[in-house]
């Protein structure tokens, strides 16, 4: 579910995909996800083409398949749900390997599995080839609310600090023989969370004062403008356009 | 709970995205009042805190563990607007940097996990705090109930969205029962840890708990001339017009009712289906309003089906708003006259 984000996905490199301006990549991946969701589920070959497109991007970005596969575990809870769908689904039943499964449920499971997997792989590729800070610069260039982008920027900067603080507190707890096993241990964890909040908040106030004394006026200075040329856009648009052509073909064929 | 791509059909994803964007817009304005000039740095810090706390797995029952959603916790600690913003930023970062949660499902995720949990949790919290006698001891208890209610409500909201535009054929009532049941347990865990966390912060830095503002005992200055009460805490906020919020809400409701309703599943709902299966409806008398112009969610005499359903939806929203507004107005008038009688 939400856990297990300890390691960030970024994978340094200097390929065509890495060099593309972040705003182009953000838009390309978002459009690709929309096109994938809009592809009819009966068109198996279209999903094959989508996979092929992502494989080409991964190859150009030199992201090894094992890297992508390992990062796909995030999807697991919903895979379990999708596998359960044919069993609990309604509608006409079909016999598969001696089990009575819902035909509509099988379709739905395939639909969710295929689209969710493609979405996750696209997001993994985006995160692996784009530095988090650059991604937020891209979001700012895409005219997202500046306050929202700034909050995300500060969150990224504070995240490792707070996670380290939490790790130190966990080590301190465990070195005193603590192991959270059942409900009686909740107060300890809650007091840790409370202490973490107070420590982080006080640290944040100190940092804010330090920022003010160094001339912070409410917006972060932009050092690197990073506009995108027409060529960058043309390259980035290749992925969603190819996917759109595939989807359009599958619409007209069905 | 992070919903991936392909779980909801396109109209529901778009509608939820519009709803989430509207909610975020409202919260961006509200958060400036809660955090003064420090909005961006402090909200970013709270978002990082929520992200960290979500990794804090706590044991629920034998062998299973849950983790905090954190909406109510954030609302009690830093205020509801900032809380929605922070949880939304956490979801955005998880979606873009960790590939957790689909990009097309971002609207659904923000609506369910940021807006619904926070609004429900904060409302319950405020209701209990207001009903209880003045004092800080009520804050953790109210936080418990706020968090414990918010989680099952969010899961039911998920079920409702799934019923409108899910891509899988499952019996809604059974899903609602399962989801609700599991999340009542998770909600108890969330409530417990929220209450304990809030009470531990309250014990050390009560001034940091937004939900406890105005609940501390007033500062009394005893001088030879007598005892005077010194006003502490933030000055009362200037009254703001709720008109933009109402207008946004109305717009979203009309869009949902008028456009999205057409795409909603046309199969009978759970109750109707059970009734049909069990033969309950053989004795069903025809509804006395069955001949009314809005019967069966379609306006009579309008040719296009899409137009008819949409019009019926918009009319339904209008009637609901009028009825709700009338009730609200009556209640408010009574409350005000009671205040005047006291004064």
pLDDT over 50 (residue B341) = no
d(CA B14, CA A47): 22
Do residue B243 and residue B206 come from a single domain?
no
A239 falls within a domain: yes
A32 within 8 A of A46, measured Cβ to Cβ: no
B45 falls within a domain: yes
Do residue A127 and residue A155 come from a single domain?
no
d(CA A57, CA B326): 58
Residue B263: per-residue pLDDT: 46
Q: How confident is the model at residue B268 (pLDDT cuts 50, 70, 90)?
A: very low
> Where does chain B have alpha helices with state H?
10-35, 39-53, 71-78, 80-97, 106-109, 117-131, 138-165, 172-204, 243-255, 261-263, 270-277, 305-342
Do residue B139 and residue B202 come from a single domain?
yes
Question: Which one of B6, B40, B100 has the shortest CB-CB distance to A111?
Answer: B6
Q: Are the beta carbons of B205 and A207 separated by less than 8 Å?
A: no
Q: How many residues does chain B have?
A: 343
Do residue B137 and residue B34 come from a single domain?
yes
Range of the domain at A173: 145-213
d(CA B174, CA B171): 6
* CB proximity list for B152: less than 8 A, separation 6 or greater: B180, B183, B184, B187
Do residue B250 and residue B142 come from a single domain?
no
A131 falls within a domain: yes
Q: Which pair of tokens denotes residue A191?
A: 């007091």
SS (H, E, C) A104-130: HHHHHHHHHHHHHHHHHHHHHHHHHHC
Question: Which one of A91, A113, A165 has the shortest CB-CB distance to B169?
Answer: A91
A197 falls within a domain: yes
> Where does B36-166 have alpha helices with state H?
39-53, 71-78, 80-97, 106-109, 117-131, 138-165
Beta bridge partners of A95: A100
Q: Are the beta carbons of B28 and A145 separated by less than 8 Å?
A: yes
Q: Which ipTM score applies to this complex?
A: 0.84
Range of the domain at B136: 10-216
Burial class for B323, CB neighbours closer than 10 Å (0-12, 13-18, 19+):
exposed
A9 within 8 A of A129, measured Cβ to Cβ: no
Mean pLDDT is lowest, of A70-79, B45-54, B127-136, B270-279, for B270-279
Do residue B204 and residue B313 come from a single domain?
no
Q: Are the beta carbons of B52 and A151 separated by less than 8 Å?
A: no
Do residue B90 and residue B136 come from a single domain?
yes
Do residue B125 and residue B244 come from a single domain?
no
Q: Which pair of tokens denotes residue A57?
A: 């991007």
Determine the average pLDDT of the residues in B287-315.
53
Do residue A151 and residue A167 come from a single domain?
yes
Q: How many CB atoms lie within 10 A of CB B224?
A: 4
Contacts of B55 in chain A (CB under 8 A): 2-5, 163, 166
**Centroid of chain to Cα B325:** 20
Contacts of A154 in chain B (CB under 8 A): 40-41, 43-45, 47-48
Beta bridge partners of B228: B221
How many Cα atoms sit within 13 Å of B152 on the Cβ side?
Answer: 17
Q: How confident is the model at residue B308 (pLDDT cuts 50, 70, 90)?
A: low
B79 falls within a domain: yes
Question: Which one of B49, B55, B67 has the shortest CB-CB distance to A197?
Answer: B49
Number of domains in chain B: 2
B303 within 8 A of B319, measured Cβ to Cβ: no
**How close B116 gets to chain A, by Cα (Å)?**
18
Q: Are the beta carbons of A198 and B204 separated by less than 8 Å?
A: yes
Interval A207-241: pLDDT, tens: 889 988 998 887 777 766 667 788 888 888 888 88
Q: B227 φ, ψ to 5°? A: -105, 130
Do residue A95 and residue A71 come from a single domain?
yes
Q: Exposure string (b/e) for A19-41, b if CB count within 10 Å is 16 or more?
A: ebbbbbbbbbbbbbbbbbbbbeb
Q: How many CB atoms lie within 10 A of CB B222?
A: 8
Residue owning tokens 């923000």: B110
Do residue A156 and residue A52 come from a single domain?
no
Do residue B23 and residue B157 come from a single domain?
yes
A64 within 8 A of A54, measured Cβ to Cβ: no
Do residue A113 and residue A171 come from a single domain?
no
Do residue A119 and residue A157 come from a single domain?
no
B118 within 8 A of B80, measured Cβ to Cβ: yes
Q: Where are the beta strands (DSSP E) in A79-208?
A: 93-96, 99-102
Number of domains in chain A: 2
Q: N- to C-terminal Cα distance for chain A?
A: 36
Do residue B91 and residue B167 come from a single domain?
yes
Do residue A110 and residue A125 come from a single domain?
yes
Contacts of B86 in chain A (CB under 8 A): 151
Residue B283: per-residue pLDDT: 45
Do residue B244 and residue B162 come from a single domain?
no
In the A/B pair of chains, how many CB contacts fall below 8 A? 258
CA dihedral A8, A12, A18, A24 (to 10 degrees): 30
Interval A77-114: pLDDT, tens: 677 777 777 776 666 666 666 666 777 778 888 888 88
B9 three-state secondary structure: coil
pLDDT over 60 (residue B61) = no
* CB proximity list for A185: less than 8 A, separation 6 or greater: A178, A179, B59
Q: How many CB atoms lie within 10 A of CB B181?
A: 11
Question: Which one of B5, B47, B169 has the shortest CB-CB distance to A155?
Answer: B47
Query: Do β-strands A99-102 and A93-96 pair in parallel, antiparallel, or remain unpaired?
Result: antiparallel
Interval B159-216: pLDDT, tens: 888 888 777 767 777 778 877 888 888 888 889 889 988 999 888 888 888 888 777 6
Contacts of B49 in chain A (CB under 8 A): 162, 196-197, 200-201
Do residue A131 and residue A28 come from a single domain?
yes
């Amino acid at each position: 579910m939400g856990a297990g984000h300890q390691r960030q996905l970024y994978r340094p490199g200097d390929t065509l995909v890495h060099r593309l301006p972040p705003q182009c990549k953000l838009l390309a991946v978002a459009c690709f996800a929309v096109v994938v969701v809009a592809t009819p589920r009966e068109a198996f070959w279209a999903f094959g083409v989508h996979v092929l497109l992502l494989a080409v991007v991964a190859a150009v970005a030199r992201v090894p398949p094992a890297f992508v596969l390992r990062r796909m575990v995030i999807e697991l809870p919903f895979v379990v749900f999708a596998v359960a769908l044919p069993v609990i689904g309604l509608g006409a039943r079909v016999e598969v390997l001696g089990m009575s499964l819902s035909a509509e449920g099988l379709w739905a499971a395939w639909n969710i599995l295929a689209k969710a997997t493609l979405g996750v792989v696209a997001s993994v590729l985006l995160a692996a080839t784009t530095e988090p800070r650059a991604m937020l610069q891209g979001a700012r260039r895409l005219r997202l609310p500046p306050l929202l982008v700034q909050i995300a920027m500060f969150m990224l900067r504070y995240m490792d600090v707070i996670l380290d603080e939490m790790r130190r507190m966990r080590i301190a707890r465990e070195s005193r023989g603590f192991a959270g096993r059942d409900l009686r241990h909740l107060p300890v964890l809650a007091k840790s969370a409370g202490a973490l909040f107070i420590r982080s908040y006080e640290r944040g106030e100190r940092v804010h004062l330090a920022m003010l004394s160094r001339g912070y006026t409410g917006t972060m200075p932009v050092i690197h403008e990073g506009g995108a040329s027409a060529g960058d856009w043309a390259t980035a648009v290749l992925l969603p356009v190819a996917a759109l052509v595939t989807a359009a073909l599958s619409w007209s064929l069905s | 709970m992070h919903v991936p791509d392909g779980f909801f059909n396109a109209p529901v994803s778009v509608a939820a995205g519009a709803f989430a964007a509207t909610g975020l817009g409202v919260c961006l304005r509200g958060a400036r009042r809660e955090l003064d000039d420090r909005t961006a740095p402090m909200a970013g810090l709270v978002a990082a805190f929520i992200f960290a706390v979500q990794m804090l797995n706590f044991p629920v029952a034998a062998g299973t563990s849950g983790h905090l959603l954190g909406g109510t916790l954030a609302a009690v600690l830093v205020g509801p607007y900032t809380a929605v913003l922070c949880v939304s930023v956490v979801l955005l970062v998880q979606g873009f940097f960790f590939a957790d949660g689909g990009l097309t499902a971002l609207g659904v995720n923000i609506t369910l996990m940021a807006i619904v949990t926070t609004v429900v949790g904060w409302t319950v919290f405020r209701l209990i705090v207001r009903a209880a006698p003045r004092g800080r001891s009520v804050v953790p208890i109210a936080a418990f109930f706020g968090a414990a209610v918010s989680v099952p409500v969010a899961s039911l909201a998920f079920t409702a969205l799934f019923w409108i535009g899910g891509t899988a054929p499952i019996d809604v009532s059974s899903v609602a029962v399962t989801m609700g049941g599991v999340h009542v347990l998770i909600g108890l865990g969330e409530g417990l840890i929220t209450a304990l966390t809030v009470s531990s912060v309250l014990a050390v830095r009560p001034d940091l708990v937004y939900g406890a503002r105005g609940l501390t005992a007033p500062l009394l200055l005893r001088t030879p001339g007598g005892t005077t009460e010194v006003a502490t805490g933030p000055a009362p906020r200037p009254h703001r017009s709720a008109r933009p919020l109402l207008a946004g809400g109305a717009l979203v409701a009309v869009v949902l009712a008028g456009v999205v309703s057409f795409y909603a599943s046309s199969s009978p709902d759970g109750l109707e289906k059970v009734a049909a299966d069990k033969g309950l409806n053989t004795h069903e008398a025809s509804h006395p309003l069955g001949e009314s112009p809005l019967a069966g969610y379609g306006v009579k005499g309008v040719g296009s089906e899409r137009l008819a359903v949409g019009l019926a939806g918009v009319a339904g929203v209008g009637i609901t708003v009028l009825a709700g507004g009338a009730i609200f107005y009556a209640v408010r008038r009574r409350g005000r006259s009671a205040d005047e009688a006291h004064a």
